[in-house]
Amino acid sequence: MEKAILVHLAIGQSVRREAEESLDELAQLAAAAGARVVERVHQHRPKASPRYFVGEGKAEDLARRREELGVDLVIFDHNLSPTQQRSLEDKIGAKVIDRTQLILDIFAQRARSNEGKLQVELAQLEYLLPRLTGKGVALSRLGAGIGTRGPGEKKLEVDRRRIKDRINRIELEIEGIHKRRESQRHGRRKGPVPTVSLVGYTSAGKSTLFNALSGAQRFTSPALFATLDPVLRRVDFNDGLYFFLSDTVGFIRKLPVELVTSFRATLEEIREADVLLHVIDISSPRADEQARSVDDILADIGASDVPVIRVFNKIDLLSSKDDLLARNAAVGDRLAYVSARTGEGLPGFKAKIRNIAFRDFRPFHLRLPGDKRDLASSLRRWAIVLKSRENGDSSELLVMADSRFMINYLPYLVEGEENW
């Protein structure tokens, strides 16, 4: 396990509390990557140094502490320029990585599917490209461990041209994935079944909630970014209605732009959803800040107009959970208080999902004559069939559908749902 020093630079009017909270999160990220944090360093400056980001004196202090503590790694809670990163490594005598590189490393460890691995490799190569010096660099020179996993493990002698060629090939493969996903989404959009996507800050409990709603056994862990690959499951209501539920990668403040770009195919699942479930860890002291970070990312990817239910999860960790559960009915359909782990609040929460996901749906009782029974198959493209039966020379169906798609079936409409 690599020993690490964490560094935070407070610029301008930043307050110490914000710096501590930011370093707390960086420590979690470092632990998720496999590092053991042995020291945390603060500095306050009017602006960042162009050469070392921190002041030269602080860089010299870091070099001394690295030697005294036997540290392998220095992690900055900021994004460093290529020049700053090289200058710091020369000054400190240890591997230096920034926040983006740390997050990319975690993603490289967590990616399981071919799609996820491609997206992470693309992000890492785009990060690496401006950091090459001279004609080329051996990736093996970067060493092993945190910050070099993923494409760096291949230990190839590379240059800018070969990296650009690899980026182009990956982009073509990801574009193929994007087209397949778009085709699948198009098929779902043409159908009557709503898609509901879970979003939220990493470690808010999205995958646990996914399992609680769908009955699936998706891997869950308190570790940051425990799951990267999106997954889709069907969730049924007792009356025959159902929706598709998708789980997605967790967000984090200052999410690297390289990841937003390379994970475009995954993030579009969020933008194209009918309803978003924004999962918030209500037990976190930074719940408000984390929720704002998610809202900002949703705006960046063009998902601000998708209806959202804000789901305050982990109420089982609060002493006031009974008061919150009592408020569930009073706060409307756009807020919910639940515990995905214990199941508290979930029945009422599912009712809220139903109210929003099926807000434009209503029941239709249809009677199709014998010579029109073929309409039943086409009807399933636009409606969810709740019940059906043969009645002499006709077929009767009770369906739920958006009125806009039922115009062609109005001649066969029967008033009421009698005798069902």
pLDDT of residue 144: 56
Helix (H, G, I), strand (E, B) or coil at 189: helix
Q: How far is CA 363 from CA 241, 275, 298, 416, in A?
A: 11, 21, 33, 9
**Per-residue exposure over 164-187, b if at least 16 CB sit within 10 Å of its own CB, e if not:** eebbeebbeebeebbeebeeebee
Q: Which two tokens stand for residue 281?
A: 């860890």
**According to the model, what pLDDT value does residue 179 have?**
83
So where are the chain's domains?
2-97, 109-173, 193-357, 361-414
Question: In the prediction, which pLDDT does 41 show?
Answer: 95
Q: Are 27 and 81 in contact (CB under 8 A)?
A: no
Q: Alpha helices, DSSP H only, in 93-205?
A: 99-110, 114-128, 160-190
What's the length of the chain?
420
Question: Tokens 């709740």 — which residue?
Answer: 386
Angle between helices 82-92 and 56-69 (to 10 degrees): 50
Domains 2-97 and 193-357 share a fold: yes
Question: Would you list the DSSP string of 301-340?
Answer: TT-TTS-EEEEEE-GGGSTTHHHHHHHTTTS-TTEEE--T
Residue 243's DSSP bridge partners are 235
Cross-strand partners of 9:
43
| Per-residue tens of pLDDT for the chain, all 420 residues | 899 999 999 987 766 777 888 899 999 999 989 999 999 999 999 999 999 999 999 999 999 999 999 998 999 999 999 999 999 999 999 999 999 999 999 888 888 778 888 888 898 898 888 887 644 444 434 445 676 666 544 444 557 788 889 999 999 998 888 788 777 766 666 678 999 999 999 889 998 999 999 987 765 555 566 666 678 899 999 988 999 999 887 888 888 777 777 776 667 778 889 999 999 999 998 899 999 999 999 998 889 999 999 999 999 998 887 778 777 777 788 999 999 999 999 999 999 999 999 999 999 999 999 888 788 888 888 899 999 898 888 889 999 998 888 888 989 998 765 555
Q: What is the pLDDT of residue 306?
A: 95
| Alpha-carbon span 192 to 171, nearest angstrom | 32
Rounded CA separation 225/119 (Å): 15
**Quick one: CATH architecture of 193-357?**
3-Layer(aba) Sandwich (3.40)
Q: Are strands 242-247 and 231-236 parallel, antiparallel or unpaired?
A: antiparallel
CA-to-CA distance for 277 and 346, rounded, in angstroms?
Answer: 13
Model pLDDT, residue 100: 92
The model's pTM is 0.81
Nearest to 6 by CA among 49, 28, 293: 28
- CATH, range 2-97: 3.40.50.11060
